[in-house]
Structure 1
Amino acid sequence: MQPEPTAELRHRIIETPAGRLHLVEQGTGPLVLLVHGFPESWYSWRLQLPALAAAGYRAAAIDVRGYGRSSRPAATDAYRMLDLVQDNVAAVRALGEESAVVVGHDWGSNIAASSALLHPEVFHAVGLLSVPYAPPGGPRPTDVFGRIGGPEQEFYVSYFQEPGRAEAEIEPDVRGWLAGFYAALSADTMPARGEPDPHFVTHGGRLRDRFPTGPLPAWLSEDDLDVYAAEFEHTGLTGALNRYRNMDRDWEDLAPHRGAPVTQPSLFIGGTLDASTTWMADAINAYPTTLPALSASHLLEGCGHWIQQERPAEVNRLLTDWLTTLQS
């Protein structure tokens, strides 16, 4: 397998059940499909695409349905997990491959895990960043999230679930909101222990009221922020937020798979300062049962939520080392 360090980025539009899916690919070799989270885009993998290409892989980072140059269906229920999984399957097929490794971050981690669970014949290995795998099941999600926070504040997931509510906060100043949201979950700019938690909204308030107001995190340049802001100023946030508005539908759709493990080779990488990782510590502890073919679980000390952008060298090394084991 020969590395291709000078390979160029290639933008492509492919057909999916929802219409078009935009992706950016680099390199040749076994296919690695990269799935971003909220509120991001294919650009979140800009530091992984060349590294994977140089290691001898064909890396393809998608714009998830509702983001960037991909289609944005009008119906809220067009963003349920089953549909996003089918988009991933369509991407693999459109790229001329029978199977792929799928790697996801944040919501992309859930989408990647669900893709592997529902289509093991297509996704023969899965990498999960920041958000651990937890099998389908348990109580209805809105019931759980509605109890978090108590009488004085509301969990951000519940806040995002009400159509139009978060949009009214975000869209008058997309760039400023994104800057605050990214900073709130980054290791070097997140609020200190004891300060108001940006995962919660005071009743009648806004999420951004708890964002830090200082400099951008070290991983995010002004130019990077411009890229993200330009995407969402063009698309709006509704498509992205509709992922949160389908959690109960997902709970119903995936009921036949309650408690099911993902049995393909897997990898998890989280940050010790990331609430997604710390809140779901029980899910990580359950990996011997839920991810029985787990190759390794890594927690990067002092790392926040945007793991592949905050610590690209470490993440790239862990990903490429793991991918190498899949070829042996």
Structure 2
Amino acid sequence: MAAQHRLVFAAGRRIHLVEQGAGPLVLLVHGFPESWYSWRHQLPVLAAAGYRAVAVDVRGYGRSSKPAAADAYRMVELVADNVAVVRALGEESAVVVGHDWGAAVAANSALLRPEVFRAVGLLSVPYTPRGGPRPSDVFAQLGGGGGEEEFYVSYFQEPGRAEAEIEPDVRGWLAGFYGALSGDTMPGPGAPDPHFVGSGGTLRDRFPVGRLPEWLGERDLDVYAAEFERTGLTGALNRYRNMDRDWEDLAAYDGAPITQPSLFVGGGLDASTTWLADAIAAYPVTLPGLVSSHVLDGCGHWIQQERPDEVNRLLVDWLAGLPAT
């Protein structure tokens, strides 16, 4: 069965998705700055293994709705979108798998709506329960506190600021951003960290140039660039602009574990894995239903695209072991 593009409507919103296969529903949620296309290697494999694989364009991306209000991109809204997609597809429950921001959306979907999401797979970004200080205060300290460097999440906060860097050359910026976080093209030890902006500079100043990562062909880059050239980056960046709102919205879930069967796969060279090593170590408490956890040596951030065969095998094996629907 070939992959099919669909638009579903729920609660006044439009969600574009790509669907392949028949069987238990597996909902795939991408991160920043990607689209449904980041799951292109998983859709046919999951379909062949007997699953109904569905990759969405998250709100603000691709052909999905792009509300104007910044607070429309808060976590509880994205969880509601996932529930609405499951219902619009005529299903009662699903396994949800996410990468990058999609991992956080998947985790919170499982946390807030356990009756809908029976299992959760997290790629690249570990589960970190809500808690601690206000996120903006934490991020403000990561650049050293003296103003010499600014963490990229803080850089993304002011509406229009990052857009002004990215949108004049979307394709070139994406190529650099993907390269900066890929295992085969990321800056070496001792080079300026591309997660930070130097005083008066831009993120792009620290991106590698001249070579695409092995996983990213020119056509792949064209697909991503064409979408963001059409939509702009504001919808995607608005996810970062809601982290304090999420902290407030989810106060009742402070420290809450996710108890459904879960899977984690990270990249050994990915800052999300190394910086959040304590979160991975806490999985016996925070993910008591964890079936397996894997860190792929030499792999960067774009894990299901950098290592599709390994990730597909881990996903299929994990799905096969889940309780029947």
Q: Common fold, TM-score beyond 0.5?
A: yes
Equivalent residue for 2:116? 122
Equivalent residue for 1:159? 155
Q: Indicate the percent of aligned positions where both proteins have the same amino acid.
A: 78
TM-score, normalisation: structure 2: 0.98
Pairwise CA distance, 1:15: 1.0
Pairwise CA distance, 1:10: 0.8
- Which amino acid is the alignment partner of residue 63 of structure 1? D
Structure 2 matches for 1:11-50, cutoff 5 A? Answer: 11-17=5-11, 19-50=13-44
Q: Which residue, out of 261, 265, 271, partners 1:269?
A: 265
CA distance in 2, matches of 1:88, 1:204: 39
**Aligned partners of 1:44 and 1:309 also within 8 Å:** yes
Q: Which residue, out of 160, 167, 174, partners 1:178?
A: 174
Moved over 6 A (4+): none
Equivalent residue for 2:236? 240
SS in 2 for 1:292: coil
SS in 2 for 1:192: coil
CA distance in 1, matches of 2:312, 2:12: 31
Pairwise CA distance, 1:18: 5.1
In the alignment, structure 1 segments of 5+ residues that lack a partner are: 1-6
SS in 1 for 2:156: helix
**Aligned partners of 1:17 and 1:86 also within 8 Å:** no
**Structure 2 CA distance for partners of 1:79 and 1:11, relative to 1, 3 Å:** same
Equivalent residue for 1:279? 275
CA distance in 2, matches of 1:79, 1:165: 18
Structure 2 matches for 1:1-328, cutoff 5 A? Answer: 7-17=1-11, 19-150=13-144, 151=146, 152-327=148-323
**Aligned partners of 1:102 and 1:123 also within 8 Å:** yes
SS in 1 for 2:143: coil
Q: Deviations over 1:237-280 (max 9, x none)?
A: 00000000000000000000000000000000000100001000
RMSD: 0.7
CA distance in 2, matches of 1:214, 1:119: 45
Total equivalences in the alignment: 322
CA distance in 1, matches of 2:5, 2:308: 22
CA distance in 1, matches of 2:321, 2:119: 11
CA distance in 2, matches of 1:327, 1:214: 47
CA distance in 1, matches of 2:52, 2:273: 29
